Structure 1
Amino acid sequence: MWNKLVLLSVVALTFNYLALAYEPSPLQDFCVADSSSSVKVNGATCKNPMQVQAADFFFSGLHLRGNTSNQLGSKVTPVFATQLPGLNTLGISMVRIDYAPWGLNPPHTHPRATEILTVLEGTLQVGFVTSNPDNRFITKVLQKGDVFVFPVGLVHFQQNVGNGNAVVIAALSSQNPGAITIANAVFGANPSIPWDILARAFQVDKSVVDQLQAKF
C-alpha cells in the first residue's frame, strides 16, 4: 500500500511539473486582449466579453509578401496577441516568414515556445543545435510542403538555398514566444557586455570583439 502511495505521489508531482512548463489553460471561453488597459499582468487584461466582436478573432495579411530588402534578406510577419487580440491566453501564435534568394533567418531561440514550420514556397536549409554538452547540429533541406519542428529554447535558423523567393508559415506554442537573436543579444547588448568577457568566451582578440560590437 505504501509503495502505491509513493508511486502515485511521484506521478502527481511529475504531471504538476509538466503543467508548470507550459502556459496555463484558460479559465473562460476567451480573454480578448484589451489594448486600452494599462494594467500589467502575465499576458494582457481581458476585454469585457459583452464588447467582444468577430474582429477580435480575425487577422488579415498573411497573403502579403514581406519586405526582404534588408541585410539578412528575410522578413517575419507575426500574428501574436498584439495583432490578433483573441489569441490572448490561448497559448498559440503564428508567423509568416519571407526569404529573398539566399536570405537568412539567423540563429535565434524562442524561450517560451516550440515552433513547427511548413514550407509554402522555395527550398530552405533549416537546423538547430542541441543543448550542452553535446551541441549536436541537426539540419535538413526542406522543399515545398515539408514540415520541420524546432524544440522549445534551442538555437535554430532557416536559410533560403534557392535562387527564387521562399515562404513559410510557422506555428508556435505560446501567444508570446519571444525571440532572442544570438548575434544581436551577444554583440548588441545595451549597455555592451565587457569586451574581455566576450574575448575570453569566444577566444578571440579585442579587435574582433570591437568589430562585431560595431556591427550591432
Structure 2
Amino acid sequence: ILVNGFTCKPATNVTAADFSSNILAKPGATNNTFGSLVTAANVQKIPGLNTLGVSLARIDYAPGGINPPHTHPRATEIVFVLEGQLDVGFITTANVLISKTIVKGETFVFPKGLVHFQKNNNGYEAASVISAFNSQLQGTVNVPLTLFAATPPVADHVLAQTFQIGTKEVQKIKAKLAPKK
C-alpha cells in the first residue's frame, strides 16, 4: 500500500529501524562547487516519517562555503547552529531582504516557499547546522542550478535578458555549474 507515494508497511512488519537513523551523525563532504553539503533525514531515508509532517537535515559548510539561494516549496525551515557562524537571510514577496548573522546555539526561520541562503563567511573554520522542516519531504529548488544547469538547458538568450548580461557570461556561469564528469 502507498500513502503519499511511499510504502506503508503492515503494522506487524514495522520495526524501530523504520523510525531511526544515524545519517546526521557525521559531517558531510564539502569539497564541491558551493562548499556545502545538505544531508537529508526525510521520508526517503526514514520510512517512519511518512504522514508525520516533519523531517531534518544537517548542513555542513566549508570555510567560506554557501548553501546558495534556494526555496522549499512544501515547508518552512528552521536552522539551529551546531558550530561556527553564518550569514543567513530570505527575500520576502515584496523583495525585502531579511538577514542576520547567527552563531552557535542560535536559530533562524525561513518561511515556506521564500528564496533563502546561508553563507559561512569565516574563511578559516567550518560551520554546521541542523535544519528542521514541517514536511516529511520539503522539496528543494536550488536557484542557480535550476536556471543554469537544467536539462535540457534554459536558452542562453533567456538568461541573458533576464539577468541583463551577455550570452558569454551566461555560458561561463553554465560551465562553472555544470555537473562534474
Q: TM-score, normalised by structure 2?
A: 0.92
User: What is the aligned residue count?
Assistant: 176
Residue of structure 2 in register with 1:169 after alignment: 130
CA apart distance, 1:179: 0.7
Q: 1:124 is paired with a residue of what secondary structure?
A: strand
**Larger helix proportion, structure 1 or 2?**
1
Asked if 1:46 is matched to 2:8, the reply is yes
Asked if 1:124 is matched to 2:86, the reply is yes
Residue of structure 2 in register with 1:155 after alignment: 115
CA apart distance, 1:105: 0.7
The aligned runs of 1:12-161 (5 Å cut-off) are 42-131=4-93, 134-161=94-121
Deviation sequence 1:111-134 (CA, Å, 0-9, x none): 111000110110111011112xx3
CA apart distance, 1:65: 1.3
- RMSD over aligned Cα atoms: 1.4
Q: 1:56 is paired with a residue of what secondary structure?
A: helix
**Structure 1 segments of 4+ aligned residues over 4 angstroms from their partners:** none
Deviation sequence 1:6-43 (CA, Å, 0-9, x none): xxxxxxxxxxxxxxxxxxxxxxxxxxxxxxx7x6x633
Q: Which one is further off, 200-209 or 141-150?
A: 200-209
Q: What runs of 5+ residues in structure 1 fail to find an aligned partner?
A: 1-36
CA apart distance, 1:177: 0.6
Letter in 1 for 2:106: D
**Take 2:117 and 2:149, find their aligned partners in 1: how far apart are those partners?**
19
Letter in 2 for 1:155: V
Aligned equivalent of 1:196, options 147, 157, 176:
157
**Larger strand proportion, structure 1 or 2?**
2
Q: 1:213 is paired with a residue of what secondary structure?
A: helix
Higher RCO (CA 8 Å, separation ≥ 6 residues): 2
Q: Which one is further off, 206-215 or 177-186?
A: 206-215
CA apart distance, 1:83: 1.0
What is the percentage of aligned positions where both structures have the same residue?
A: 50
Q: 2:7 is paired with a residue of what secondary structure?
A: coil
